[in-house]
């Protein structure tokens, strides 16, 4: 894919801000992205927006035109919903529109509010990303589903809780300098292992928090960037999406996530780069086991090999393939409808060099991986510094 540039990026602080409205959060992220891009609102042709649980959590559907208005945009707006991959889908819609020459300037991103109600209600709202008839009614929640995946993984490939603890320790460490992160607090392996168990074998530190926040990107055509002398040095060079059965029970092997494999295959083919070119990765670590499965599905590790990657220091900031330099969903936070956009924002800043962890990136290509449900949906983007 050619000719697609990230001209500007914006985020709210990720955290617990129950009193801030959704429109307030998204407007802040969009305003930051437009200012970063140096693009006027009038130039924006489309808004591609991700949100997951606004119907349940805010009684607000039809959020796309609402968010356009809040951000001061007078353009058509579309909402994408793909559970926790909603903003990944929105970014993909935006990228495809630019790549196809259907628009020159678009805004993509997402927003989620998760702490404006009782935690039980948020847990119930998250559960609608699973199969209502065959999973939710049987009592499945996402910690339980990912615990099943972890147990299957351990049984098939080996690995232990301490391996996963190193994933959490790494991602917390990465979040410390990130001003947008929910938890800027380093933890130890001992802390992770001694924390309360949520769903065996996953403990508190294996799980991402609930988070309010928004993300936004200004995506432009290369021609527009040049004509308007924008500083848009990062290109989106590949996009891929994969799908799978919604219910975990319908999959062949709960320890594998083929939607990620499919998304990666499409994105790498689209970009014409190889896995060896990738210098940094942001993956969807809603639980520590999810990071392990993602790195294998993406093809950076063979099946069964990624579980020890953080423990061996391969995916830490000083490792060969730094993973989740933002802090990941685990420590940066996971406002579900915003996360896929946030990953591209973080990767853009890492590649541009204006991220506190940018020094860890030794190369010009980065990958983002956003997943929905128990990876019934996956969206992958490849970014590259082009000038």
**Which positions touch a second copy (CB under 8 A)?**
21, 46-47, 52-53, 55-56, 58-62, 64-66, 68-69, 74-83, 89, 92-93, 96-97, 99-102, 125, 127-133, 136, 241-246, 250, 259, 262-263, 372-373, 376-377
What's the closest the beta carbon of residue 59 comes to a second copy, in angstroms? 5
Cβ proximity to a second copy: between 7 and 262 the closer is 262
Q: Which of helix, strand or coil describes residue 237?
A: strand
Going 296 to 300 to 302 to 307, the CA torsion angle's sign is negative
* 334 tagged catalytic: yes
* 75 tagged catalytic: no
What's the closest the beta carbon of residue 314 comes to a second copy, in angstroms? 29
Burial class (CB in 10 A: 0-12, 13-18, 19+), 379: buried
Strand partners, 214: 111
Instruction: Give the orientation angle of helix 288-297 with respect to helix 142-157, to 10 degrees.
Output: 60
Instruction: Give the orientation angle of helix 161-175 with respect to helix 288-297, to 10 degrees.
Output: 90
What's the closest the beta carbon of residue 324 comes to a second copy, in angstroms? 23
| Cβ neighbours of 220 (radius 10 Å) | 28
DSSP string, 26-47: HHHHHHHHHHHHT--GGG--EE
Nearest to 323 by CA among 351, 286, 360: 360
Place of tokens 């990657």: 309
What's the closest the beta carbon of residue 14 comes to a second copy, in angstroms? 21
Cβ proximity to a second copy: between 89 and 164 the closer is 89
Cβ proximity to a second copy: between 181 and 267 the closer is 267
Nearest to 235 by CA among 64, 383, 18: 383
Cβ proximity to a second copy: between 246 and 283 the closer is 246
Q: Are 366 and 350 in contact (CB under 8 A)?
A: yes
Nearest to 341 by CA among 121, 57, 32, 103: 32
What's the closest the beta carbon of residue 103 comes to a second copy, in angstroms? 10
Given 166, 172, 284, 334, which residue is catalytic? 334
Cβ proximity to a second copy: between 97 and 307 the closer is 97
Cβ proximity to a second copy: between 178 and 241 the closer is 241
What's the closest the beta carbon of residue 187 comes to a second copy, in angstroms? 31
Give the CA distances from residue 166 to residues 95, 105, 245, 262, in Å, rounded to whole numbers and listed in that order.
Answer: 34, 41, 30, 27
Given 48, 75, 84, 369, which residue is catalytic? 84
Phi first, then psi, for residue 122 (nearest 5°) are -65, -40
The catalytic site residues sit at 84, 334
């Amino acid at each position: 894919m050619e000719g697609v540039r990230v001209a500007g990026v914006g985020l709210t602080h990720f955290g617990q801000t129950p009193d801030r409205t959704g429109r307030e959060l998204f407007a802040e992220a969009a305003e930051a992205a437009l200012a970063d891009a140096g693009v006027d609102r009038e130039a924006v042709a489309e808004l591609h927006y991700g949100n997951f649980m606004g119907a349940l959590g805010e009684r607000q559907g039809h959020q796309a035109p609402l968010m356009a208005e809040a951000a001061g945009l007078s353009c058509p707006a579309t909402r994408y919903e793909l559970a926790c991959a909603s903003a990944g889908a929105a970014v993909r819609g935006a990228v495809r529109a630019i790549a196809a020459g259907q628009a020159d300037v678009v805004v993509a991103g997402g927003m989620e509010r998760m702490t404006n109600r009782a935690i039980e209600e948020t847990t119930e709202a998250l559960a609608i990303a699973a199969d209502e008839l065959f999973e939710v009614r049987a009592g499945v929640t996402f910690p339980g589903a990912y615990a099943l995946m972890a147990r299957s993984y351990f049984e098939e490939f080996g690995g232990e809780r301490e391996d996963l603890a190193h994933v959490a320790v790494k991602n917390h460490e990465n979040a410390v300098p990130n001003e947008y992160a929910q938890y800027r607090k380093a933890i130890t392996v001992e802390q992770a292992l001694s924390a309360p168990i949520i769903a065996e074998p996953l403990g508190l530190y294996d799980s991402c928090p609930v988070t309010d926040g928004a993300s936004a990107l200004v995506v432009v055509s290369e021609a527009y960037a040049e004509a308007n002398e924008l500083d848009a040095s990062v290109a989106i060079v590949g996009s891929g999406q994969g799908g799978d059965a919604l219910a975990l029970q319908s999959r062949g092997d709960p320890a594998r996530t083929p939607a990620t494999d499919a998304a990666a295959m499409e994105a790498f083919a689209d970009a014409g780069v190889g896995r060896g070119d990738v210098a940094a990765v942001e993956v969807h670590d809603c639980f520590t086991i999810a990071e392990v499965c993602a790195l294998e599905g993406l093809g950076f590790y063979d099946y069964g090999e990624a579980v020890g990657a953080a423990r061996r220091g391969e995916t830490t900031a000083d490792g060969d393939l730094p993973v989740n330099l933002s802090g990941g969903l685990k420590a940066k936070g996971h406002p579900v409808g915003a996360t896929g956009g946030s990953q591209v924002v973080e990767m853009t800043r890492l590649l541009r060099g204006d991220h506190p962890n940018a020094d860890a990136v030794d190369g010009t290509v980065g990958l983002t991986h956003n997943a929905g449900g128990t990876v019934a949906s996956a969206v992958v983007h490849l970014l590259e510094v082009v000038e």
